[in-house]
Chains A and B, each alone.
Chain A
C-alpha cells in the first residue's frame, strides 16, 4: 500500500508542485545552468531549483551528502509527513532506493580536485575528502535515507540503470511480501547533471540537439523528436502492508499489485523493434496482480524521446494489452521533467499514484505531429480528466532491461 508520496522534480518543489507542473503541460527543460555547456553537443536539461538549506537540510548534511542523497532524503521526509509521520519500528522498517549512476556530481567535483583538473592518473590522495568513498559507492544513498528515517531493517540500493526506479519499488514490495519489513521507505533518486554524464550521452548521440529551443527539446512520439533530455530528481514513497496501514488508519493512495522485470538479452543500448520483453514484463505484472488488460486505465510510458524507444514501447504495449492498447491513454512526463535516469521510474510512479488519486492523467508535452508509426493515444499537450483505477508504468534501460509495475486504487 502506498500511504505517502514525496517528490523533488524539475519545475517545482514538492509533490503538489510536481503534480501542478505535469498536469499543466509546461516543460521544465532549459539550457544547462549547473556548468557552462558550451562545447557539448547537447546543452539542455531538466534541472531542479533545489535549495538544500531551504529544503530543511542542515549544514553538515549538505556537506556530507551528494545531491542525489539530498534529493532522496528531502523526498523521504515529505513522504513520511504525507503518511502522517507514522511511528516506525526501526527493525521492521526497510529502505529501497533506486539509482542508476551514483553520486555523479560529488564524484566528478572531487575527481577534478584529486586529479588536478584531469592532469593526474595517479591522483593525489592528500586532496581526498572524507565523503569521497560515499561518492564512489552509491550504497551511501541507502544509508542516508536509512539514517534519516531510523530504519534498521533491510536497506538496499537497486541499480539497474534506467529501470532502477521501478525495480526499487519491486524490491520493496518483495520485502513486504516476504515479511522482512512492515514499512519500506522506497523510491529512487538521481542527480546526474554533471559534465561527465552529459558527455557520455553526447558520445552515443542519444540526447536532443534542440539547444536553441530547450523547452521543446524533448518530444516523445512526435515525428520531429530529436532524442532525450537529461533530468534529475527523486520520488520516495511510504509503502506498508495492508495490516500496517489499517492498524494506524492511514490514508491509502493505491496498492502496487504487480511488478516484473525482463531483459532482451540483445544489446546494451539497442532495442528489438518487437517489444517482446517489455510486453512479457507487462504480462507478468498483470498476471501477478490478477488484473486483466481491459482494466488498465492509464499507461505511463517510458517515452524517452528517441525514435527507437517510441516504436519499441508502442509495439510492446500493443502486444501486451491487445485491443485495450488503442483505448487507454498513454503519456510521457519525460517531455516535461526530463529523463532522470534511475530516478524517473519512481517519479513516474508518483504520477501514476496521483492520477489514481485525482482521476486526471498528465499529457505528453511537445507532441504536435504524431510519428505515423506510433498510433496510440499519447494524450498530446493537455491533461485529461479520466477515471483511473489502474495505472501501468513501464521502463526501459541500458542493459536491455524492461520493467513494468501496476498501481491500483483501493476502494
Chain B
C-alpha cells in the first residue's frame, strides 16, 4: 500500500491556488508586508504574511461564514481547490473510507478574541452560540467533514508548526488501516492582536519593519521569524484506489515520515531533528544520496537555524544537498506550513525546479548548507525531504517521492 497525493489546495499570502503560489515562489515574489488587519502601530512586530486579497465571501458559503473563524475559511477554500485539482467527488468513494485530518496551532484565534471581548466587556449573554464551534481546534476538521461528507477517520493533531506534517503522517496511517482517501494538511490564521501579542514574549519574532530584512533564516543577520496565515490541504489517496478511479495527477508518494521531540533544555542531550530525518529516510527506504532537495523548517532564530543546518550537514554532509525555504516569501504559517511545503516539494518534482530562499545574503557561521538563493534552480527532483519544527521541541520529517 502506498499513500499518494492527487490534489493540492493552497492558500498562501503570495498566491491563491497551487499554480499561482508556485509561480510566485519560483519568481521570488513575497507576500510579507506590514500588518493591515489591525492597527499594529504600538507593537514591536509589524510584519506578517497576510492573505491580503483573500475574500471569504468568494470561498465560503454565506451561512458558514458567521459560524467559523479565518482558519476554517482558509480551509474551506483549500479543500475545494484540492478536490477540484484531484477531480474527486468524495461521495464516489465508500462512505467510511474517506476522512479528514487537519492541524492548527492556535485555533480560531480572532473569533475567540472577539467573544472573549464580548464576555468581558458586556457579559456572558453576549457570547455567540458559534463560539462553541468556531474557536476550538477541531473546528476545521468538523466543518470539512460535514461539508464534504467525509465520514471516515476525522482527526486533529497539534504540535505547533510540526502539525502540518504530523497530519499527513497520520493520514498515511489511516490509509494503511482502512481508508481510500484522506484530506490532510493544515491551515492557520493567528492574525488578531492577541494572536500576535501571544508570540512576542517568545522573542522569536522579528521586530524589523523592512520586509526584505526581517525573516532571514540561516543568514548571519537572522533576527527572528515573521508569521503568516494560510496553509494547504492535500488529497491523499491509497495509490491503487487513485489509479482505479483514474486520478488525473499523481503528484507523488508520501514515502516516509517520522516525528521526534527535543530533550528538555539543560539535559545536554542532542536535539531530535537529525533523528527525525534519519528515521523518515529509513521509513522511506531511502539513502541520503537519494534526496534531491530539503525543504527546511527555517526558523529564522540563529541558534535554531544552527541546529537545523548542523542536522542537515550531519545527514547529507556539508553542502551535500540543495536546501531551500520558500516560506521566506510567506512567513512561517505555523501548522499551515508543513502541507504547504509538501505542495512545493511535489511541484519541484513535477517541474524539476527548486524554488529559492529569498533575502538571505550571507550564511551564518556554522550553516554549511547549499541554500538555494538564486532561483529557481533547475534540477531533477525525484525525492524531497520536508522538515518542520514546532515551538517547544517538536520535530517532524516527511519524505515525498515521484510516484
Contact = CB atoms under 8 A, between A and B. Distances in A.
Indicate if A touches B (C-beta under 8 A). Answer: yes
A199 interface: yes
Given A159-B158, A195-B124, A398 B136 contact: yes
Contact of B145 (A99, A130, A399): A399
Interface in A123-140: 123-125, 128-140
5 contacts: A121-B193, A125-B200, A139-B158, A152-B269, A195-B124
B268 interface: no
- Across the A-B interface, give the 8 residue pairs with the lowest CB-CB distance, nearest first: A399-B142, A118-B120, A118-B121, A143-B392, A159-B137, A154-B259, A157-B158, A199-B124
A45 interface: no
A123 B156 contact: no
Interface of A: 39-41, 90-91, 95, 99-102, 108, 111-112, 114-115, 117-125, 128-140, 142-143, 146-147, 150-161, 164, 167, 171, 174, 178, 180, 195-196, 198-204, 206, 260-269, 277, 280, 284, 397-401
Contact of A203 (B127, B150, B261): B127
A125 B136 contact: no
A148 to B, nearest CB: 8
A156 B157 contact: yes
Contacts of A280: 96
Given A138-B137, A174-B173, A157 B159 contact: yes
Given A160-B138, A277-B151, A398-B133, A118 B269 contact: no
B260 A132 contact: no
A140 B137 CA distance: 14
B145 A265 contact: yes
Contact of B133 (A131, A137, A154, A268): A268
Contacts of B264: 146-147, 150
A72 to B, nearest CB: 14
B116 A115 contact: yes
Given A159-B156, A174-B173, A263 B132 contact: no
A139 B259 CA distance: 14
Nearest to A97: B158
Contacts of A124: 197
A157 B159 CA distance: 6
A133 B199 contact: yes
Given A155-B261, A268-B143, A114 B197 contact: yes
B213 to A, nearest CB: 22
B117 interface: yes
B201 interface: yes
Given A158-B156, A203-B131, 8 more contacts: A41-B124, A90-B263, A117-B120, A136-B106, A137-B106, A146-B261, A159-B136, A160-B155
Interface string B343-372: 000000000000000000000000000000
A196 B115 contact: yes
Nearest to A281: B96
B136 A266 contact: no
B117 A121 contact: yes
Contacts of A174: 170, 173
Contacts of A137: 105-106, 158, 160, 391
Contacts of A95: 261
Nearest to A161: B138
Contact of B159 (A40, A128, A139): A139
Most B-side CB within 10 Å, residue of A119, A130, A142, A398: A142
B345 to A, nearest CB: 21
A133 B106 CA distance: 9
A397 B138 CA distance: 10
B77 interface: no
